[in-house]
Amino acid sequence: MLLQLVNQDLGYDRGLVLRNISIAIREGDRIALVGESGAGKSTLLAAIQARLLQQAALVPQNPGLVASLSVFHNIYMGRLNQHPTWYNLINLARPRQREIDAIRPLVERLGLEEKLFERAGELSGGQQQRVGICRALHQGGALVLGDEPVSAVDSHQARTVLNALHEHFETVVLAMHDVELALSYATRIIGLQHGGIALDQPSAGLTASDLDFLYKDSDEKHR
């Protein structure tokens, strides 16, 4: 068991977003959090993050890149805690071949090989998001937590990204807005609605229409 929440109230300082939440996350779970925007996906993710910070690689919604550093350096940052500080500083001044070799396969897979030594601030939004993914992949570990990790990339790249994340990490928890993608990658779906968990079951046997009810409110608003 990685994490267990029992009857927890979750939220930011401004007020509760989720009430009375109980979930358990086990090693090997591949979880997709779904629900309307504002349903509390990010809140739940942040709560999981706060409890598993030491073990998890993060893919935040805002990739949090350092604009003036190269793509290489931004990815290298995933392992700042795994190297001594002096070694980090040497790599900051001049990347070691060893580290470049470790990072190159990741950027090649996500189609960023041409950009490896460009400044992160000069990339497009989708490219920046993929740099954030590469950083998490480079950091490694058993668990990844992602908040809409494919929101800014096209559908072909989205599959590449999700394949990479699911291959690299044993346990995956991703907030997703694309229900089809969620169903095809996750083995377990957690649906959020009205400040609580409305659904928590294996994805096998579920279809997109089974999840429609989660989005009913916004549909009504749109009508």
Partner 1 sequence: MKNIADLPGAVRPHYSPAVRVSTAFIAIAVVCLAFADIAITTLDPWAEIQRMLLGVVTPDFFAVEAIGTAVVQTIAFALVGVALAAFGGIILAQFFHIGPVRWACAIARSIHELFWALIFLQMLGLSPLTGVLAIAIPYAGICAKVYAETLEETPAAALKALPAGTSTISTFFFVRLPDAWSHIKSYTLYRFECGLRSSAVLGFVGLPTLGYYLQTAFSEGNYSEAAAQLIMFYVIIASLRLWMKPKLIGLYLIVAPFLLGGATEVRWENIVRFLTEDIVPAPLRNADLLDPQVWSAFGDWLMMMLTDQALPGFVATVVLTQIALVATAFLTLAFFPLISTKFFGRFGRSIGHLFLVIMRSTPEFILVYIFLQLWGPSMLPAIVALALHNGAIIGHLLGRYSDEISLRPDSSSGINLYAFEVVPRLYGQFLAYLFYRWEIIMRETAILGVLGIATLGFYIDSAIADIRLDRVMLLLLVTALLNLGIDSLSRLIRSRLRLSTRISACDG
- Which residues form the interface with partner 1 (CB under 8 A)? 53-54, 57-58, 60, 62-69, 73, 76-82, 85, 88-89, 92, 132, 135, 139
Q: Nearer to partner 1 by C-beta: 18 or 134?
A: 134
CA distance 189 to 12: 24
Task: State the minimum distance, in angstroms, from the CB of residue 68 to partner 1.
Answer: 5
Q: Nearer to partner 1 by C-beta: 73 or 115?
A: 73
| Sequence-ordered list of residues with C-beta below 8 angstroms from that of 119, at least 6 positions apart, any chain | 67, 68, 69, 70, 71
Q: Nearer to partner 1 by C-beta: 34 or 130?
A: 130
Task: State the minimum distance, in angstroms, from the CB of residue 91 to partner 1.
Answer: 9
Closest listed residue to residue 38, CA positions, set 1, 76, 11: 11
Between the CA of residue 175 and those of 31, 91, 109, 112, what are the distances in Å? 8, 33, 22, 24
Q: Nearer to partner 1 by C-beta: 64 or 196?
A: 64
Q: Nearer to partner 1 by C-beta: 76 or 215?
A: 76
Task: State the minimum distance, in angstroms, from the CB of residue 87 to partner 1.
Answer: 9
Task: State the minimum distance, in angstroms, from the CB of residue 176 to partner 1.
Answer: 19
3-state DSSP helix/strand/coil % of the chain, to nearest 5: 45, 25, 30
Tokens 């109230």, residue located? 9
Task: State the minimum distance, in angstroms, from the CB of residue 62 to partner 1.
Answer: 4
- Cα angle: 45, vertex 199, 16; to 5 degrees: 45
